[in-house]
Structure 1
Amino acid sequence: MRIAIIDGQGGGIGKHITEKLRKHLPEDTEIIALGTNSLATAAMLKAGANDGATGENAIAFMADQVDIIVGSVAVLAANSMLGELTPRMAEAIANSKAKKILLPINRAGIEIIGVVNEPLPHQIEKLITVLIKLRKGDSYV
């Protein structure tokens, strides 16, 4: 299983997700850190990602090279993350055949109705549960 974690700005969300994935998923799970900037990529690499790349071309290229894309819902919104996530990145992520498991963090001006507003650590725990089920071949719905 190849999982891409996409994050920007300081990489705090991606770092937290990477740490939890490393703790709860088998070692053969390949985690690829994709940062909109080098600070975000470095934070995820330091947290245990196997490999990392930075910028528009890296994200656009890698979107179709992984099984699962993880991040906040902002990765689907052009110009989110204070403009760091480009329209090309958003399009590549949205069009990727990879399964997308996204946290409903309202930092892109997107409000998802019907979603309980929970603290980030609770959202990441649910994300980990879904990925563990997917790893086992179970449905997460």
Structure 2
Amino acid sequence: MIVAILDTNGAGLGQSIIKKIKQEICADINIIALGTNTFATSKMVKSGAHVGISGEKAICAFCKKNTADCIIAPIGILCNGEKDMELCPCICKAVINMDCTKYILPLQRYNLYIPGTRELSIKDIVDEIIDDIKSKL
């Protein structure tokens, strides 16, 4: 199974997800770190990702190949290049057009609110994603 994880800036969330996958899933999972910058990518690779891909062109090329079984991305991926974001329209479109399961992390940012998620912690959301990935192995 190939799991892609997209993160921006310092990749704190991506690092946490990678560590959780490594701890909880013993199966043969190939983790691909998709960082919008080299700093984010290197942080995710240091956390255990098998491959790191950095920058707009490389991420878009990866997504167009549709080689992942699933991708985990922040809610900003739905904003199509919203102001003050590292997720440009090209990346947003490439991710949304992938033919795989997309796990969207409903962070309380960008003036987007998903009803029903207010009481959920990021830890709870990540746990639910990990459980779903486990069920597909």
Give your verdict on TM over 0.5: yes
Gaps of 5+ in 2: none
2:121 is the counterpart of 1:122: no
2:36 maps to amino acid: T
Residues 1:38 and 2:38 are matched in the alignment: yes
Q: State how far apart, in whole Å, the 1-side matches of 2:31 and 2:43 are.
A: 13
Give the C-alpha shift of residue 83 in structure 1. 2.3
Q: How does 1:1-141 map to 2 (within 5 A)?
A: 1-63=1-63, 64-80=66-82, 82-135=84-137
Please report how far the alpha carbon of residue 87 of structure 1 lies from its aligned counterpart in structure 2 after TM superposition. 0.2
Partner letter of residue 25 of structure 2?
L
Could you tell me whether the CA contact under 8 Å between 1:9 and 1:81 is conserved in 2? no
Q: Which runs of 5+ in 1 are unaligned?
A: 136-141
User: Any idea what SS the aligned residue of 2:31 has?
Assistant: strand
Alpha-carbon contact 1:74-1:81 (below 8 Å) kept = no
Deviations 1:20-43 (A, max 9, x none): 011112352000000011111111
SS at match of 1:43: helix
**4+ long deviations beyond 3 Å:** none
Deviation at 1:112, TM superposition (A): 1.1
State the shift of 1:125 in Å: 1.3
Range 93-102 or range 79-88, more displaced: 79-88
Change (3 A) 1:11 1:80: farther
Instruction: Note if contact 1:5-1:71 (Cα within 8 Å) is conserved in structure 2.
Output: yes
- Alpha carbons of structure 1 residues 57 and 39: separation in structure 2 relative to 1, 3 Å: same
Deviation at 1:126, TM superposition (A): 1.4
RMSD: 1.6
Query: What amino acid does structure 2 have at the position aligned with 1:124?
Result: V
- Contact kept, 8 Å, 1:34 with 1:53, in 2: the verdict is yes
- What is the rounded CA distance, in whole Å, between the counterparts of 1:18 and 1:77 in structure 2? 24
TM-score w.r.t. length of structure 1:
0.88
Shift, 1:81, TM fit? 8.3
Identity within the alignment, %: 32
The number of residues matched between the two structures is: 135
Does 46-55 or 107-116 show the bigger shift? Answer: 107-116
Secondary structure of 2:131's aligned partner:
helix
